[in-house]
Amino acid sequence: MEINLNDRILISEDKLNHKFQTFHIPCNFFDILPDMSFVVDSKFNILHCNNTASEFFQLSKSEFVNKNFLTLIAEEKREEFESNFQTAVIEGINQQFESAFVADKQKKFVQIIISPFYKNVKTNLSENRDRLCFIFARDISLQKEKELDLVRFANVAEYTVNPLEITDVDGKIIYVNPAFERSSGYTREELIGKNPNIFSSHKHPKEFWMNMWETIKQGKVWIGEVINRRKDGQLFYTDLLISPIIDNNGKLIGYFGIHRDKTEQKKLEQQLIHAQKMESIGLLAAGLAHEVGNPLASISSLVQVIQRTNKDEFTNQKLELIKSQINRISKIIRDLVNFSRQSTYELQSTEINKVLRSAIEIARVSKKAKGIKFIEEYDPNIPVLYLVPDQLQQVFLNILINAIDALCIDVNRMVYFTSNPQIVSKTFKDENKVYISISDNGIGIPDSAIDKIFDPFYTTKKVGEGTGLGLWVSYNIIKSFQGEIQVNSSEGEGTTFTIILPINLVSTE
């Protein structure tokens, strides 16, 4: 079936006359169009369709004739379609919108254009009874599916716990998800347009990154463990997978990186290794203390005998030096013995604030501390805990003494690292834990030393000024209380030690 269609274009107008140019369109012309096309009257009756529409709905052209166009529209979209159709018919203005067809019982999304025209060229513009409409429809189901996939991916990317980043081919960041912001400490605005080397910890050699770039530039997936640095300077560890992004033409357009944050896992591994090392050292210390202690006692006795009988002043000075070094060794051995065996101290109801205040009073007496301001902030609601107060005081003193040493550069001239040296001690709690923090604004701990400070015999002090056992002893005491010690330090700015004790140690008395 074929019908001839006339349309007219307004080429000029004045108050009295409208001049139109009329043209003739054969309906079979629309069969060459790739999109579906229909001719529909003002009552939604289909007068004609092209081959694309026939194939889409699996209906012959004759089956379409006089079929109500609304029956092709998905039910929930019909009201919107009618509104747009009536606007096109009444106002003579093209309407473009998205809708949905139902073909073979399946919903198909389409882009629709309704374009009105006249069947009778002599009809007055105000009369609609002879107005027909072209309806052009393009199947956008695949596009919609891609958009839906994109929405799904966007939601996965935004809400996953794994840090994600996307870069262009030059390695500049074009997207990061909220998890990446949390892990890195940077905001999205700070990262867009930057190179990922902003996180560099300088822990990997150049060859490591060269291998990564060679792999992904070949269109291959690269997997490795990386150590990055947060905005606040702390290290964070991730398993990183980088995949090239390839477009439909096989062209490389960027890279997609997904991280699995394993910082906490690394901390637990380091704590386990440290605990095992401490256990081994404890066993060694027990034997060492016995083997060294006996001959040392003999040497000490001989020195004292010689001192009593010797009249030479020079010899006595040297003997006194030997005696002081023996006392130093003896102290180290006592510390080793104390922490290589189970404590014999009895657990007692302990007021944390009282013990800390007492430790601070002792630390104040030090000559080095005379120019230091001590700031104390106590939470009055700290519960009484069931532990060993003497040992806890020793922990506080060890940390306070280290803080004083970090502030005092020259005790003889009373020279301090900063013009306003201070030590701030605080206690606070949450639902399950008690926190004691001791902060100084001293010289700080170098990054190279931060992982070693709880090792026995490790010290950054001058020879003779420290045994390197204070923090090791403190670590073991707090560990015996089922707690932990955390340290946060910036070289040149200061150090904060935080002692965390579980509230399940509350006294039952």
Report the pLDDT value the prediction gives residue 458, as an integer from 0 to 100: 63
For residue 169, pLDDT over 50 is answered with: yes
In a shared domain, residues 279 and 255 = no
In a shared domain, residues 33 and 120 = yes
In the listed set 286, 312, 338, which residue is the last one of a domain according to the structure?
Answer: 338
For residue 122, pLDDT over 50 is answered with: no
In a domain, 176, yes or no: yes
Least confident of 77-86, 128-137, 390-399: 128-137
Q: How far apart are the first and last CA of the chain?
A: 101
In a domain, 457, yes or no: yes
In a shared domain, residues 297 and 360 = no
Chain centroid offset of residue 53 CA: 52
In a domain, 84, yes or no: yes
| Measured distance CA(126)–CA(282) in Å, rounded | 102
In a domain, 153, yes or no: no
Percent of the chain past pLDDT 90, that is, above it, reads 29
Q: What is the CATH number of the domain that holds 84?
A: 3.30.450.20
In the listed set 338, 357, 385, which residue is the last one of a domain according to the structure?
Answer: 338
Instruction: Please provide the average confidence, as pLDDT, over all residues in the chain.
Output: 81
For residue 242, pLDDT over 90 is answered with: yes
In a shared domain, residues 359 and 334 = no
For residue 303, pLDDT over 50 is answered with: yes
In a shared domain, residues 222 and 291 = no
**For residues 114 and 39, is the Cβ–Cβ distance under 8 A?**
no
CA atoms within 13 A on the CB side of 389: 15
Report the pLDDT value the prediction gives residue 125, as an integer from 0 to 100: 43
Q: Which residues pair with 51 in a beta bridge?
A: none
For residue 45, pLDDT over 70 is answered with: yes
In a shared domain, residues 110 and 26 = yes
Kindly state the average pLDDT of the residues 167-172.
91
In a domain, 103, yes or no: yes
In a shared domain, residues 189 and 242 = yes
CB-count burial class (<10 Å; 0-12, 13-18, 19+) for 128: middle
Report the pLDDT value the prediction gives residue 6, as an integer from 0 to 100: 46
Kindly state the average pLDDT of the residues 180-207.
89
In a shared domain, residues 215 and 165 = yes
* Structure letter (DSSP) for residue 76: G
Q: What is the CATH number of the domain that holds 448?
A: 3.30.565.10
In a domain, 154, yes or no: no
Which residue range forms the structural domain that includes residue 97? Answer: 4-141
Kindly state the average pLDDT of the residues 348-352.
88
Report the pLDDT value the prediction gives residue 466, as an integer from 0 to 100: 55
In a shared domain, residues 405 and 432 = yes
**For residues 341 and 389, is the Cβ–Cβ distance under 8 A?**
no
Give the pLDDT confidence of 67-86 residue by residue, as tens digits. Answer: 999 999 999 999 999 999 99
In a shared domain, residues 365 and 477 = yes
Specify the higher pLDDT residue, 292 or 110: 110
In a shared domain, residues 484 and 362 = yes
Give the pLDDT confidence of 87-109 residue by residue, as tens digits. Answer: 998 888 899 999 999 998 899 99
| Tally of domains in the chain | 4
In the listed set 237, 261, 285, which residue is the last one of a domain according to the structure?
Answer: 261
In a shared domain, residues 68 and 129 = yes
In a domain, 450, yes or no: yes
Specify the higher pLDDT residue, 152 or 450: 152
Report the pLDDT value the prediction gives residue 29, as an integer from 0 to 100: 77
Q: Is 51 left (phi over 0), alpha (psi -120 to 50) or beta?
A: alpha
In a domain, 107, yes or no: yes
| Measured distance CA(91)–CA(128) in Å, rounded | 10
Least confident of 18-32, 124-138, 415-429: 18-32
Buried b (16+ CB within 10 A) or exposed e, 416-453: bbeeebbbbbbbebeeeebbbbbbbbbbbbeeeebeeb
* Structure letter (DSSP) for residue 271: H
